[in-house]
Amino acid sequence: MKIYISGDYFDKENAKVSVFDHGFLYGDGIFEGMRSYNGKVFRLRDHLDRLWESAKSILLTIPISAEAMENAVNETLQINGITNGYIRLIVTRGVGTLGLDAHLCQHPQVIIIADHLALYPKEFYEKGLEIITASTVRINPAMLNPQIKSMNYLNNILAKIEGHQAGCAEVLMLNSKGEVAECSGDNIFIFKQNQLHTPSPDAGILEGITRRVVLELAAELGLNIKECPMTRHDIYTAEECFLTGSAAELIPVVKLDGRIIGNGKPGSITKKLLELFRSKTTV
Ligand code: PMP
């Protein structure tokens, strides 16, 4: 495996960053997680736009152009011979001192890792996921906006640990108002009474690229779409529920907090949207 670090490629064992990099010291940096299908990165431009927005929000200057980044991502895939895989793109604040001063970090580092996919097991797509609500609340946007895909994922990790301890592969996170936000690494949708609902970005979520694609597909299908505040009651009483993410694509949820959703099986709208989604990734 060859890993790109700021213009050079290193073997996995030698792909190292300094312990003084503020990405390591403070989680000061940003990232993207993307998927490639048949050698092409899905919605690469959207991911780069989100990366640049995250950078702008934290006053981080990405040291290369978007075009150079696009080339570097594609080259990393090619060098590693990966056609259907996962790409992690990271921009760290760079080496600084032990203090918090970001302005002392003069050289942000760009890291690109292309790897094979670690997917949810196939049976979860067939039978659906059982999830619980984490007691860890999604970080309030007034503190650190979840729209910034920052290298500090402790909020999500703590929620995910709760899920693991309960035997669940994913967990629902609420916002500080007690509304549904998203899962630890996926966005959430429900289908009820002919409407597709998902929390709007105001709920304090990462606005997923897959979420956006699903909203486009739902519009193509002529579904009524509602981006609005949601509570757990809405999920408990939904006909269908599914999660979206670059790695997961669309994955059905059949149980939340012990309540069976719909008839306890992946729903027909979920299946239709997944089928349509997959048809878009193969072109
Ligand atoms: N929410 C969170 C917290 C995430 O980390 C992710 C990405 N893993 C998503 C949602 C889904 O985003 P995307 O569809 O862009 O992968």
| pLDDT for res 119 | 81
Report the atom number in ligand 1 closest to the C-alpha of 182: 1
- Does residue 155 have its Cβ closer than 6 Å to ligand 1? no
Residue-wise pLDDT tens digits, 238-252: 999 999 999 999 999
- Does residue 150 have its Cβ closer than 6 Å to ligand 1? no
Active-site residue, 160 included: no
Single out the catalytic residue among 2, 40, 122, 149.
Answer: 149
pLDDT at residue 282 greater than cutoff 80: no
Residue-wise pLDDT tens digits, 118-163: 788 999 999 999 999 999 999 999 999 999 999 999 999 999 999 9
- Does residue 92 have its Cβ closer than 6 Å to ligand 1? no
Distances (CA, A) of 80 to 9, 27, 31, 33, 83: 11, 27, 20, 17, 9
- Does residue 249 have its Cβ closer than 6 Å to ligand 1? no
Residue-wise pLDDT tens digits, 43-66: 999 999 999 999 999 999 999 999
Q: pTM here?
A: 0.97
34 Cα: distance to centroid of ligand 1 (angstroms):
10
Question: Pairing relation of β-strands 109-115 and 2-5?
Answer: antiparallel
Tokens of 58: 């934290």
Question: Pairing relation of β-strands 2-5 and 29-37?
Answer: unpaired
Residue-wise pLDDT tens digits, 67-89: 999 999 999 999 999 999 999 99
Domains in the chain (CATH in brackets) are: 2-115 (3.30.470.10), 122-281 (3.20.10.10)
